[in-house]
A and B are shown apart, each in its own frame.
Chain A
Amino acid sequence: MNRAVIAAYARSPFTPAKKGELASVRPDDLAAQVIAALVKNSKVNPADLEDLLLGCAFPEGEQGLNVARMISFIAGLPISLGAATINRYCGSSMTAVHVAAGAIAMGAGDAFICAGVESMTRVPMMGFNPMPNPDLVKTNPAAYMPMGDTAENVAARWKLSRLEQEQFAVESHRRAAAARAAGKFKDEIIAITTKKGVVVSEDGCIRADTTLEGLAALKPAFSATGVVTAGTSSPLTDGAAALLVCSESYAKKHKLNMIAAIKSVAVAGCAPDIMGIGPVGATKKALARAGITVAQLDVTELNEAFSSQGLVSMREIGLDAAKVNIDGGAIALGHPLGATGARIVGKVASLLVREKGKYALATQCIGGGQGIATVLEAI
Chain B
Amino acid sequence: MSPIRKVAVIGAGVMGAGIAAHVANAGVPVVLLDIVAKDNSNRSAIAEGAVEKMLKQEPAPFMSKGAAKLITTGNTEDHLDLVKDCDWIIEAVLERLDVKHALYAKLEGLRKADTVVSSNTSTIPLAELTKGASEDFAKHFMIAHFFNPPRYMRLLEVVKSDKTLATAYENVCRFADIKLGKSIVPCNDRPGFIGNRLGVYWLQTAVLEAMAAGITVEEADAIIGRPMGIPKTGVFGLIDLVGLDLMPHINVSMTALLAKDDSYHASAKPMPLISKMIAEGYTGRKGKGGFYRLNRDKGKAKEAIDLMTGEYRPQLRPQIDAIDESGRSLKKLLSHDSKHGAYAAKVMGLTLAYASSLVGEVSDQADAIDEAMRLGYNWKFGPFELIDQLGSAWLIEKLQKAGVAVPKFLSLASSKTIYRVENGQRQVLGLDGAYHDVKRADGVLMLEDIKRRSEPVLKNGSAAVWDIGDGVACLEFTSKMNSLDNDSMALISKAVKLVQKQFKALVIYNEGSHFSAGANLGLAAFAANIAAWGEIENLVSGGQQTYMALRYAPFPVVAAPSGMALGGGCEIVLASDAVQAHAETYIGLVEVGVGLIPGWGGCKEMLRRWTTLGNLPKGPMPAVIKAFEIISVATVAKSAAEAKELLFLKPDDGITMNRYRLLADAKAKALSLVDGYKPPEPPTFTLPGPTGRAALDMAVQGFYRAGKATDYDLVVLGKLAEVLSGGDADVIKPLTENEVLKLEFDHFMTLVRDDRTLARITTMLETGKPLRN
Contacts and interface: CB of A to CB of B under 8 A. Distances in A.
Interface of A: 61, 126, 128-134, 137, 144, 146, 148-149, 220-226
Contacts of A129: 617, 619-622, 688
Q: Which 3 residue pairs are nearest across A and B when measured between Cβ atoms?
A: A224-B707, A129-B619, A128-B617
Contacts of A144: 694, 698
Given A128-B619, A128-B621, A132-B698, A222 B706 contact: yes
Contacts of B706: 220-224
Contacts of B694: 132-134, 137, 144
Interface in B593-627: 616-622
Given A129-B617, A129-B622, A146-B702, A134 B707 contact: no
Q: A129, A221, A224, A226: which has the most chain B beta carbons within 10 Å?
A: A129
Contacts of B621: 128-131
Given A133-B694, A222-B702, 18 more contacts: A128-B621, A128-B622, A129-B619, A129-B620, A129-B621, A131-B621, A131-B688, A131-B691, A131-B692, A132-B694, A132-B698, A137-B698, A146-B698, A149-B702, A221-B706, A222-B705, A225-B707, A226-B705
A149 B707 CA distance: 13
Nearest to A223: B705
Nearest to B624: A129
B691 A133 contact: yes
Contacts of A132: 691, 694-695, 698
Contacts of A148: 702
Contacts of A130: 621, 695, 698
A69 B706 CA distance: 40
Interface string B697-725: 11000100111000000000000000000
Nearest to A131: B691
Contacts of B707: 223-225
A134 B698 contact: no
Contacts, number: 56
A359 B621 CA distance: 47
B690 interface: yes
B336 interface: no
A362 to B, nearest CB: 30
Nearest to B707: A224
B154 interface: no
Given A144-B698, A146-B698, A61 B617 contact: yes
A144 B699 CA distance: 11
B293 interface: no
A134 B705 CA distance: 20
B197 interface: no
B693 interface: yes
Interface residues of B, number: 20
Contacts of A222: 702, 705-706
Contacts of B691: 131-134
Contacts of A225: 707
B337 to A, nearest CB: 57
Contacts of A146: 698, 702
B348 to A, nearest CB: 51
Nearest to A146: B702
Interface string B228-261: 0000000000000000000000000000000000
Nearest to B731: A131
A61 B693 CA distance: 22
A220 B708 CA distance: 12
Nearest to A224: B707
Contacts of A134: 690-691, 693-694
A150 to B, nearest CB: 12
B705 A149 contact: yes
A220 B695 CA distance: 23
A130 B619 CA distance: 10
Nearest to B617: A128
A131 B622 contact: no
Nearest to B693: A134
A152 B119 CA distance: 61
Contacts of A223: 705-707
A224 B693 contact: no
Nearest to A222: B706
A100 to B, nearest CB: 32
Nearest to B688: A131
Contact of B695 (A61, A131, A221): A131
A126 B702 CA distance: 14
B459 to A, nearest CB: 50
24 contacts: A61-B617, A128-B616, A128-B617, A128-B618, A128-B621, A129-B620, A129-B621, A129-B622, A130-B621, A130-B698, A131-B620, A131-B691, A131-B692, A134-B691, A134-B693, A137-B697, A144-B694, A144-B698, A148-B702, A222-B702, A222-B705, A222-B706, A223-B705, A226-B705
Contacts of B698: 130, 132, 137, 144, 146
Nearest to A225: B707
A223 B704 CA distance: 8
A129 B622 CA distance: 6
A65 to B, nearest CB: 12
Interface in B313-342: none
Q: A61, A128, A221: which has the most chain B beta carbons within 10 Å?
A: A128
Contacts of B705: 149, 222-224, 226
Contacts of A128: 616-619, 621-622
A130 B693 CA distance: 10
Q: B620, B622, B705: which has the most chain A beta carbons within 10 Å?
A: B705
A227 to B, nearest CB: 13
A360 to B, nearest CB: 37
Contacts of B697: 137
A176 to B, nearest CB: 28
A61 B695 CA distance: 19
A146 B617 CA distance: 22
Contacts of B622: 128-129
A148 B621 CA distance: 23
A146 B703 CA distance: 11
B705 to A, nearest CB: 5
B311 to A, nearest CB: 36
A352 B408 CA distance: 99
A224 B621 CA distance: 28
Interface string B612-645: 0000111111100000000000000000000000
A221 B619 CA distance: 29
Interface in B655-714: 688, 690-695, 697-698, 702, 705-707
B691 to A, nearest CB: 4
A349 B38 CA distance: 53
A379 B693 CA distance: 53
A133 B695 CA distance: 9
Nearest to B705: A223
Nearest to A123: B617
Contacts of B620: 129, 131
Nearest to B620: A129
Contacts of B618: 128
A164 B698 CA distance: 29
Nearest to A152: B705
A235 B674 CA distance: 55
A351 B691 CA distance: 45
Nearest to A136: B694
Nearest to A135: B690
Contacts of A226: 705
Nearest to B702: A146
A104 B707 CA distance: 51
Contacts of B616: 128
Contacts of A149: 702, 705
B772 to A, nearest CB: 13
A347 B618 CA distance: 37
Nearest to B698: A144
Contacts of A126: 695
Contacts of B695: 126, 130-132
A102 to B, nearest CB: 34
Contacts of B693: 134
B350 to A, nearest CB: 54
